Amino acid sequence: MGAITQYALQVALLLCVVYLLYKWTLASCTFSRFNRVVLLCMYVIVLIAIPAYTLYSSAYTEPDAESPELQIKEEVTALSDRPAPMWPKIVSIIYMAGAIVAIVVTSHSILHIMQIIRHGVKEKRDKFTLVFSDNKKISPFSWGKYIVVPYEETPNDDLDMIIAHERVHINLCHWIDLAIGQAIIIINWFNPAAYLMMRELQNVHEFEVDNFMIKSGIDRRQYQMLLIRNASGSLFPSIADSLCHGQLKTRIKLMMSPRSNPLRKVLASLFVPIVAMTIFGINTPVLASQLSEIAGTYIFTSDYNQLIYEVYGVNHLVYYTRDGQLVSISMDLPEGETPKFYINKHLASQSELSHIKSDDVLFIMGDSNNHRFIIKTK
């Protein structure tokens, strides 16, 4: 669980940087389709950048020249009788609890949409299903292959334009973008940048559809009045494209604005060096050491491949199974004596051995002179 929390924090730092960069360079531009591609690329980059850097580092970094004996000596020299800090475990528990809440909230929104669709009157069209809902509190929205309209609240004169608007969302597969954005929110539920990025993605969707509608020949004034009439509807969950998503004033302003200078797209090239610099910053010793404290945290006891401590007379034994092979470290102590356990330089309790996976063990040393087991993990 600690490794997941560490990854989420690293993603959060990257997401904050790329969001601020996008807001500064491209958010005010009129080329909505290009901005949509940039936002989706940003999502992909923040998800794969850290694993890719880790793989690259492990593949191209020269093996540590220190001998195992020297590594053990350095570990023993740095031993502390203070227990391992509790804050990494607390951070991991809070993160996992928040992620579970985010999953529950997202699931509730999906179930709410499905309930509206199930209770509505459906009409099969060419590439979508039109759903007339008796829910007066919602604005028209699209989700997947469904377009939902509050029938009693929608004038007949507006219906064709609403359907045309939402059909563009479906044709452009905007719902897939929102699903990706919502997944990022679940991973980064604590990060304001995740929610702001989702809002930017929704805005870009609406700008893209508005531009398509105007280019298709629809009367601009009538279309703008349609948006104004539906602006008072309740905002639907972010996982669906709603007619009233996006800032109405900004949408109307962009419809009236001239095209942005295409040369501004060159600013997107700044993302590569900025992301690279951020990744190197995350992996500086000061920050990396703090994040590694979280990565080594275990919340739940493992019943598989954990370390086991047993006593047979004066013989004290720590053993585990790795790749089907039994690995054991033992030492003899005077009768009645019990050893201390040091895990990653900190004094630990015997129960903490069950939190360690055998695959994470780098070495275990039995120091009978000082009555202690010294354990180092990845």
The answer to whether 368 and 109 have CB atoms below 8 angstroms apart is no
Q: What is the mean pLDDT of residues 3-9?
A: 90
Compute how many other C-beta atoms are within 10 angstroms of the C-beta atom of residue 117.
16
| pLDDT attached to residue 378 | 79
Please report how many Cα atoms fall inside a 13 Å half-sphere around the Cα of residue 149, on the Cβ side: 23
| pLDDT attached to residue 54 | 83
Its pTM surpasses 0.85: no
| pLDDT attached to residue 43 | 95
In this model, does residue 88 exceed pLDDT 60?
yes
In this model, does residue 57 exceed pLDDT 90?
no
In this model, does residue 63 exceed pLDDT 70?
no
pLDDT digit string (tens) for 169-225? 999 999 999 999 999 999 999 999 999 999 999 989 989 998 899 888 888 888 888
CA distance 40 to 200: 11
DSSP 81-142: EEEPPSHHHHHHHHHHHHHHHHHHHHHHHHHHHHHHHHHSEEEE-SSSEEEEE--TTB--EE
From residue 181, how far is each of 106, 272, 313, 362 by CA, in Å? 12, 21, 59, 38
Listed as own residue / partner, the contacts of 25-31 with beta carbons closer than 8 Å and 24 or more positions apart are 25/264, 25/267, 25/268, 25/270, 26/264, 26/265, 26/267, 26/268, 27/200, 28/260, 29/260, 29/264, 29/265, 30/207, 30/211, 30/254, 30/257, 30/258, 30/259, 30/260, 31/259, 31/260, 31/262, 31/265
In this model, does residue 283 exceed pLDDT 90?
no
In this model, does residue 232 exceed pLDDT 80?
no
CA distance 143 to 175: 6
CA distance 138 to 176: 22
Q: Could you tell me the pLDDT band of residue 7, with boundaries at 50, 70 and 90? A: very high
| pLDDT attached to residue 176 | 93
Compute how many other C-beta atoms are within 10 angstroms of the C-beta atom of residue 15.
25
Q: Which of 171, 177, 218, 168 is nearest to 197 (CA)?
A: 177
Q: Which residues make Cβ contacts (< 8 Å) with residue 60, sequence separation at least 6? A: none
